Chains A and B, each alone.
Chain A
Amino acid sequence: MTARLSIQNVSKTYAQADDVTHAVRNASLEVDAGELVAIVGPSGSGKSTLLAMAGALLVPTEGEVLIDGEPITGKSDSYLARVRLRQIGFILQASNLVPFLKASDQLEVMGYLAKADRKATRARAAELMDELGIGGRANRYPEEMSGGERQRVAIARALINDPAVILADEPTANLDSKRGRSVVEMLSRLVREGGKAGVMVTHDERMLDLVDRTYHIADGVLVQQ
């Protein structure tokens, strides 16, 4: 069985004049269906760079990223946008919801971008929000919701196009530990039940008992614990 997300010997190097920075050095990581993997490391360690490469936002200097066995390196910008839209679900730091969209529209815009059937998208959005316990918040704008509710909307948004990979960038950053924990528990359950490959970048070590595997990254070198 192929891993849903496969990062193979990936490096990212920034060259500025005589100064060469190795943001990520020869990192490899495989995530199977239903697995949630955590990457922890101090700031400046290269974890965001690695996440960006896994998420088709940044082209690796060397190595390859495969989603469901398909390489995404060396493709055009519009191809990568399509990969991000359909195969990757992002949960961004501080949820990063669109301020002028109601919760239900935050999800429906993904269907709109993917040119999916409007009705089906709407039904799936309602279903997801119910599942995540925010069904009653469908008509709220981000400013009218709590941090935990916003993060759940972000999780629902990541899931709505049924992606292969879920990438979470510090999903607990603005939450207290109780709410943060419930968000990660939810993420873990959804990844397991949905058969997704989940990767969570975090510096919050208290959440690590909820994930299947933990990697540490320091100075661009990725090591499994």
Chain B
Amino acid sequence: MFLSLREVRHSRLRTTLILAVIALVAWLVFLLSGLANGLATDNGATLTRMDANGLVFEKDTRLFLHRSILPMEMVDAVRAVDGVSDATPIGHLTVTITNEAGNERVDATVLGIDPDSFLAPEITRGESFADAPAGSVVVDEELSRHGFSVGDMFKVTPAGTEFTIVGFTSDEKYNHLPVIFMPVSSWQDLKFASLAESGGIADPISAVAFQGNGSALDAIAKSIDGVDVATRQQVIEALPGYSSEMSTVKTILAFLFLIASLVMTAFFYIITLQKTNLLGVLKALGATTRTLALDLVGQVVLLTLVGAAVGALLANLTAAMIPANVPFSLSNDVVFVYGIVLIVVAALGSLLSVLRIARIDPLIAIGRVE
């Protein structure tokens, strides 16, 4: 690094330019992954945050909560399977709610849960509906942006059933819609007007969420008939729209990395070509290809590291300025992993320059060889 550090310091304009390019690319990568994560979170935040290892669905319902109907007894059946430590019911329904004044209509996802189970949402304001009178619900913070607050009533259309908000929770979204948590019984009344609608099941639920060890999933699939079992991640990936949203973003990210690596590879290759004579002189003086190559790769890694750090800083600044209704979620883990990927990609690209260095003949240092 003796040469690199001094070269970087001396060629300030060049260093600034390459740092700017790397920082902008890194910024774009971080921003895009933040938006991608935001979208993913927005779509399945509740599933992402759910403290469950997997879910049990009615067979052949494509892991869709809205299609699956199971009897309540299934909860005990699942709980009884070896490897399962706990199981709890979950009910799902997409609704439209209207405020008391009747001037605000919001689409939402109703999730019927047992408030004492591991599915109970974290209350950020107000209280849980566990000890509250019937008709009490906990809703996602997004509803407060539509003017709802603790104590407010709303109607679920078209039936007109009334509910009271007793508490708020945050980052609970399903299918991009804010979640309304209520007791399973309230959800059953909403979803099934008659026994016929639940396919003759007296005490219906949508699915069973369970906690357990690594073998629990296979054990459930083996011992219970008529169900599909999936990990939480599989359920998230099965969400309507999820995979197409993600594949779009992932394609863009892949191209970004490709472009970043090509830009950096070309940049450093041209710099190396430009230094051919100098590198020949250094080799004539006794520098080995190994030393010069390590020096170059070191420089590439150093510049990418600094550039990525600047990009991460910019991304965090941007994240702070992004309006709250734009889903954006950028974790330090993601920044770290993508930063490392950028560095690895840049280091791989610099191997082209290393090949070039290896081919330089120190003889060029001696004037006009006949």
Asked if A82 is at the interface of the complex by the 8 Å CB criterion, the answer is yes
Q: Which residues of A contact B145 (CB under 8 A)?
A: none
Asked if B291 is at the interface of the complex by the 8 Å CB criterion, the answer is yes
B117 CB to closest chain A CB, in angstroms?
A: 65
Asked if B288 is at the interface of the complex by the 8 Å CB criterion, the answer is yes
B367 and A81: CB pair below 8 A?
A: no
Most buried by A among B9, B282, B365, B366: B366
A55 and B366: CB pair below 8 A?
A: yes
A55 CB to closest chain B CB, in angstroms?
A: 7
Asked if B363 is at the interface of the complex by the 8 Å CB criterion, the answer is yes
B6 and A99: CB pair below 8 A?
A: no
A90 and B365: CB pair below 8 A?
A: yes
Q: Which of A82, A92, A101 contacts B284 (CB 8 A)?
A: A92
Assuming the contacts A57-B362, A81-B287, A84-B286, asked whether A92 and B369 have C-beta atoms less than 8 A apart, the reply is no
A105 and B370: CB pair below 8 A?
A: no
Q: Which residues of A contact B9 (CB under 8 A)?
A: 100
B283 CB to closest chain A CB, in angstroms?
A: 7
B285 and A100: CB pair below 8 A?
A: no
Q: Which residues of B contact A45 (CB under 8 A)?
A: 370
A127 to B339, CA, bound (A): 45
Q: What is the chain B residue whose CB lies nearest that of A111?
A: B2
Asked if B7 is at the interface of the complex by the 8 Å CB criterion, the answer is yes
Q: Which residues of B contact A28 (CB under 8 A)?
A: none
Q: What is the chain A residue whose CB lies nearest that of B2?
A: A112
Count how many chain B residues have C-beta atoms less than 8 Å from C-beta atoms of the other chain: 26
B6 and A101: CB pair below 8 A?
A: yes
A48 and B286: CB pair below 8 A?
A: no
Q: How large is the interface on A (under 10, 10 to 19, 20 to 34, 35 or more residues)?
A: 35 or more
A52 and B291: CB pair below 8 A?
A: no
A155 CB to closest chain B CB, in angstroms?
A: 13
Asked if A44 is at the interface of the complex by the 8 Å CB criterion, the answer is yes
B3 and A44: CB pair below 8 A?
A: no
Asked if B11 is at the interface of the complex by the 8 Å CB criterion, the answer is yes
Asked if B238 is at the interface of the complex by the 8 Å CB criterion, the answer is no
Assuming the contacts A57-B284, A99-B278, asked whether A48 and B369 have C-beta atoms less than 8 A apart, the reply is yes
Q: What is the chain B residue whose CB lies nearest that of A87?
A: B286
A48 and B370: CB pair below 8 A?
A: yes
Assuming the contacts A90-B365, A99-B278, A112-B2, asked whether A49 and B370 have C-beta atoms less than 8 A apart, the reply is yes
Q: What is the chain B residue whose CB lies nearest that of A102?
A: B6
B11 and A100: CB pair below 8 A?
A: yes
Assuming the contacts A49-B370, A92-B366, asked whether A81 and B281 have C-beta atoms less than 8 A apart, the reply is no
A99 to B282, CA, bound (A): 12
Assuming the contacts A100-B11, A113-B285, asked whether A170 and B367 have C-beta atoms less than 8 A apart, the reply is yes
Q: Which of A78, A108, A110, A161 contacts B288 (CB 8 A)?
A: A78
B284 and A90: CB pair below 8 A?
A: yes
Q: What is the chain A residue whose CB lies nearest that of B361?
A: A57
Q: What is the chain A residue whose CB lies nearest that of B367?
A: A93
Q: What is the chain A residue whose CB lies nearest that of B283?
A: A81
Q: Which residues of B contact A113 (CB under 8 A)?
A: 282, 285-287, 291
A110 and B367: CB pair below 8 A?
A: no
Assuming the contacts A98-B278, A100-B10, asked whether A110 and B285 have C-beta atoms less than 8 A apart, the reply is yes
B365 and A96: CB pair below 8 A?
A: yes
Asked if A43 is at the interface of the complex by the 8 Å CB criterion, the answer is yes
Q: Which of A52, A99, A173 contacts B369 (CB 8 A)?
A: A52
Q: What is the chain A residue whose CB lies nearest that of B8?
A: A100
Assuming the contacts A98-B3, A100-B11, asked whether A48 and B282 have C-beta atoms less than 8 A apart, the reply is no
A109 and B2: CB pair below 8 A?
A: yes
A109 and B284: CB pair below 8 A?
A: no
Q: Which residues of B contact A48 (CB under 8 A)?
A: 366-370
Asked if A51 is at the interface of the complex by the 8 Å CB criterion, the answer is yes
B367 and A169: CB pair below 8 A?
A: yes
Most buried by A among B281, B282, B284, B365: B284
Q: Which residues of B contact A96 (CB under 8 A)?
A: 278, 281, 365
A52 and B363: CB pair below 8 A?
A: yes
A184 to B276, CA, bound (A): 29
Q: What is the chain A residue whose CB lies nearest that of B292?
A: A113
Q: What is the chain B residue whose CB lies nearest that of A110?
A: B285
A204 to B10, CA, bound (A): 35
Known: A44-B370, A100-B10, A157-B285. 6 other contacts (CB 8 A): A55-B284, A57-B363, A78-B290, A99-B278, A110-B285, A114-B286
Interface pairs (22), CB distance under 8 Å: A43-B370, A48-B369, A52-B363, A52-B366, A57-B366, A58-B363, A78-B288, A84-B284, A84-B286, A86-B286, A90-B285, A92-B366, A99-B278, A100-B6, A100-B10, A101-B6, A105-B6, A110-B285, A110-B286, A113-B285, A113-B286, A169-B367
Binding site for A on B (CB under 8 A): 2-3, 6-7, 9-11, 278, 281-288, 290-291, 362-363, 365-370
6 nearest CB pairs, A to B? A85-B286, A100-B10, A84-B286, A93-B367, A112-B2, A100-B7
